[in-house]
Structure 1
Amino acid sequence: MLEVGTKAPDFELFDQDGKLHKLNDYIGKKVILYFYPKDNTPGCTKQACGFSERYPQFTEKGAVVLGVSKDSVASHKKFVEKYGLVFTLLADPECTVIETYDVWQEKKNYGKVSMGVVRTTYLIDEQGIIIKANDRVKAAEDPEKMLQELE
């Protein structure tokens, strides 16, 4: 996990509509950058729907929400349409940003060890500095916790 107080690494990723996003595009706004394992899975759906439901409150506080997984642009588009998500999902099929943000790690699931995305949320300030980093994320609770961090 990246250290609080360090500059968040810039990136270039495509969203669910094929539009290119760079972290530097968001200088002047707070960014909730969350990494999740997979579209259309129970925990990831709860987390995404939670961010979507609260999105007006995030924007009121000057924040944007960006979700990142290794799913494709097409997968993200279906996920967004299926659940009516109102924020940006970024596709990182090559795992370049996922690795840069140190969230591609060894995971244990029912005793089986594999590599995968560890659910992690970063809060980045208006100057691009990481001010909160959480790798013990509970999917259903994360959106509300991040909203409280903006108080």
Structure 2
Amino acid sequence: MTLQINDIAPDFSLPDQDNNLVHLADLKGKTVVLYFYPRDNTPGCTKEACGFRDRYAAFQTENIVILGISGDDAKAHGKFIKKFDLPFPLLSDIDHQVAIAYESYGMKKFMGKEYMGILRNTFVINPEGKIQKIYLSVKPEPHPEQVLKDLLSS
């Protein structure tokens, strides 16, 4: 089954960098930018996270919640947040169940090798809990600006 615009966003509960559970259902009434990224402290993931960080005030002004999800554990997330002064939660999807629910876990290629991993996708979830926009296989550097631009124009 392929997720589509206006589908109910798959609900989840995942631990953040402080091991506090974040429940998507608790965020109803807010717009949520849910971005999946492969790994903390890698060049592309750092560019993407810092792009969201640098625009965070603009997202907050619009009452938009930013959540990053990867397979890294809470400790790795905590270090990544501290190192780059990230102002939003990073969630640990160690068993990839949320990434699978969001069709953001699959076959990847790197230097001729194929492996399973988290795909760089983003989902905007509207205040009613429905998927408002889907970005697939995003380029990390320009992506946060595009998301903000799209949300401000909608």
**Shared fold (TM-score greater than 0.5)?**
yes
Between the aligned partners of 2:143 and 2:23, the Cα distance in structure 1 is 23
**What is the Cα deviation at residue 15 of structure 1?**
0.5
Matched pairs, number: 151
The DSSP-based 3-state class of the residue aligned with 1:87 is coil
Residue 87 in structure 1 maps to residue 73 in structure 2: no
In structure 2, the residue matched to 1:24 is 25
Render the CA deviation track for 1:39-78: whole Å, top value 9, x for unaligned.
0000000000110111110011120100000000000000
**SS of residue paired to 2:115:** strand
Using the alignment, how far apart are the partners of 1:5 and 1:127 within structure 2? 10
- 1:14 corresponds to: 15
Gap regions ≥5 residues in structure 1: none
Q: Structure 2 matches for 1:1-150, cutoff 5 A?
A: 2-150=3-151
Residue type of the alignment partner of 2:123: Y
Give, in whole Å, the separation in 1 of the partners of 2:77 and 2:3: 25
TM-score calculated relative to the size of structure 2: 0.95
* Runs ≥4 residues deviating over 2 A: none
Query: C-alpha distance in 1, partners of 2:4/2:50?
Result: 28
1:83-109 Cα offsets, whole Å, 9 max, x none, are 110001001111111111111111122
Measured on the aligned residues, the alpha-carbon RMSD in Å equals: 0.9
Distance 1:136 1:79 in 2: 22
Per-residue deviation at 1:120?
0.2
Distance in structure 2 (CA, Å) of the matches to 1:147 and 1:34: 13
What fraction of aligned residue pairs are identical, expressed as a percent? Answer: 46
TM-score (norm 1): 0.97
**Aligned equivalents of 1:75 and 1:111: distance in 2?**
27
Secondary structure of residue in 2 paired with 1:150: helix
1:144 and 1:2 map into 2 onto residues whose CA distance is 23
